[in-house]
Structure formats: C-alpha cells, structure tokens
Amino acid sequence: MKKYIWMIATMMALILAACGNSEDDGTEEASGGEPEMVPYTTDGGEEIEIPEDPQRIVVLASSYFGNLMQLDANVAGVSNDVEGSEVLKPIAEDGNVELLEVGNVEQVMNLDPDLIITFSTDENLDKLKAIAPTIPVEYDKWNYLDIHEEMGRIVGKEEEAAEWVEGFEAELAEDRQAVEEAVGEDATATVMEQYAKDIYVYGTNWGRGTEILYQGLGLGVPEEIQNEVVETGWKSISAEEIEKYAGDFMFVGSGDAGADNAYKDTEVWQGLDAVENDRVIEFDSPAFYYNDPYSLEHQKEFLVDALTK
C-alpha cells in the first residue's frame, strides 16, 4: 500500500512540475523580456534612454510622422493635425495609425507607447515623460534632410534613411537644372499665406515648400526675406508691405478658412511684377506644411511642374 501511495505522489509531483515549467515558458515567451535600451541625447542636451527597437511609437510632433512611416517604423498614434494633409491622411489610414487629439494625454497613455516623439514646446512634456521615454525635438534646429537621418538613427534605420536622402538629392539636382533652364539662374521667389487677418512670409526652412524652392531648386531669396525672415523662419507683414518682400515668383498658400485674401484687391498686390506677368502660383497650405519624404515628393512634383510648364 505504501508503495502505491509513493508512486501516486511521485507521479503528481512530476505532473505539477511539468505544468509549472509549461506556465513559466509561456510567460517568458509572452513577455518577450525587457526591451533593450540605448542612450540618446536630446536637442536640449538631456541624456535619456530609449528603446533600441521601438514597437509602439506615438508621434505628437506630426512633422515627423511621414519620416517614420517612410522608414517603416512602428507608429501606433499620431496627432490628428495630419488629417488636413491630402498626402499624410491616407498614409495614416492605410497604416492603421490612431489619430490623437492635440493635447489629449489620456489618449497617448491608452496606446501604451514605448517611445513618444513630440516638439520641445509641448506644454505636456512632463506628463508625457511619465508615460514613456520622450524625445522633444527642436523644430528649427534641424535641416529638412538631416532630420530624416536623425529619425533613422532613433528607430535603427540609419542606412535606409541615408539611402532615401541620397536618392532625393539626386532627383533635386536634375530638377534644379530643368528649373534654371526655364526661369534663369537669378529668379527669386516668395512664399506667403494668410491666416485670418494676418499675412505671413516664410524663410528657407519652414515648410510650405520653402525647402524645395530655396535649398533644393536654388531659387533666390529676396533681400528683405534674407535679412528679416530667414533667421526666425517666418514673419507677419501687412498688405502694404508685400511689395517689400516680393520675388519674381509668388507662391501663395490657401491659408485657413478665416483668410479673406483681401490683399489681392489692393493696388500694391495688383502692381507686383509677379502678378502682372502671371507668375503667381497658389498651393494647398495643409499639404505643404510638412517636410517629410512623402510631402517633399509631392511638393517637388508640384513646384517643378509649375516652374517649368
């Protein structure tokens, strides 16, 4: 009898041990262990740790959404600012990326991100840092192509990012030659748009196609824009001042719903060389806000076509 009791006890112990091992193996497999972390220095000089291979990125700095998607990074959510762009909205939809309300920290938390990318000016920065490692980007610090390579470094896609930049620069070199043949080497351009009652002109690295026009295609910067706008990125001007900042070509954004564009009825506007010689080119502002690969390709095609037709 004791023999049978001992045998039963032994069998039960083996069964329990097997179950325990099975459960342990399943738990370890499901958890995948702790992610590898690597050091990263933010634009502000802060040393932080970020995932080596981030799996759930939330992009609140929507300017970099297209960069990350082009690199096939794991983007879980993005600020709903991108909805206004005919270029980026379908990319978010096709990628099943959740659109987040601007400033809604709870939505960010619910996505359980392992990396957050936002602007350094984000008023919720401290709250975001409590959710996941957060990179605050200083927008005006980065050249439009350098930032793509930086995003590549962040997500471990350095080679892919460098390859795209190289290819895009090669395309721009060909387009630049075609544009010079069409408009000459000394042609200047101004980029402007109106929001509500305010009229803005832009520098050489502030979206709105400025990177393509000035840096890529080599159009000249009007003297007053070079002196007063390039350093700050943008400037608000009056309708009476437009002539002061006007170039040979005027690229005019659609602005917002509150823009009445009354300046177009003024004598100053009607007297511009660009207006009199049909060199005013209008563009859809939301599609030109960004300088990610998808937006840049779209802008380049539009602008080159407009300048060479």
Read off the pLDDT of residues 137-184 as tens digits, 9 standing for 90 and up: 999 999 999 999 999 999 999 999 999 999 999 999 999 999 999 999
Q: What is the mean pLDDT of residues 34-43?
A: 94
Residues 6+ apart with CB under 8 A from 169: 145
Band (pLDDT 50/70/90 cuts) for residue 257 is: confident
- Position 18 scores a pLDDT of 45
- Position 34 scores a pLDDT of 80
Answer whether 246's CB lies under 8 Å from 222's CB. yes
- Sole residue written with tokens 């192509």: 145
**Which 3 state secondary structure label does DSSP give 63?**
helix
Does the pLDDT at position 298 exceed 70?
yes
Domain 37-156 superfamily per CATH: Nitrogenase molybdenum iron protein domain (3.40.50.1980)
Tokens of 268: 């100053």
Comparing 27 with 275, the larger pLDDT belongs to: 275
Does the pLDDT at position 79 exceed 90?
yes
Q: What is the mean pLDDT of residues 296-304?
A: 97
Instruction: Give span(s): CATH 3.40.50.1980, the chain.
Output: 37-156, 178-308
- Position 258 scores a pLDDT of 84
Select the CATH number that applies to the domain covering 178-308 from these four: 3.30.70.260, 1.10.10.60, 3.40.50.1980, 3.90.1300.10.
3.40.50.1980
> What percent of the chain has pLDDT above 70?
89
Q: What is the mean pLDDT of residues 232-242?
A: 96
The total of other beta-carbon atoms located within 10 Å of residue 35's CB is 14
The CA distance from 4 to 204, in Å, is 88
Q: Quickly list DSSP for 175-191.
A: HHHHHHHHH-TT-BEEE
> Contacts for 278-282 with beta carbons within 8 Å, 24 or more apart?
279/248, 279/249, 279/250, 280/249, 280/250, 280/252, 281/249, 281/250, 281/251, 281/252, 281/306, 281/307, 282/251, 282/252, 282/253, 282/254
The partner residues of 16 in beta bridges, in order of sequence, read none
pTM of the model: 0.86
Q: What is the mean pLDDT of residues 68-93?
A: 97
- Position 2 scores a pLDDT of 38
Does the pLDDT at position 187 exceed 70?
yes
Does the pLDDT at position 24 exceed 50?
no
Average pLDDT, the chain: 91
- Position 32 scores a pLDDT of 56
Does the pLDDT at position 31 exceed 50?
no
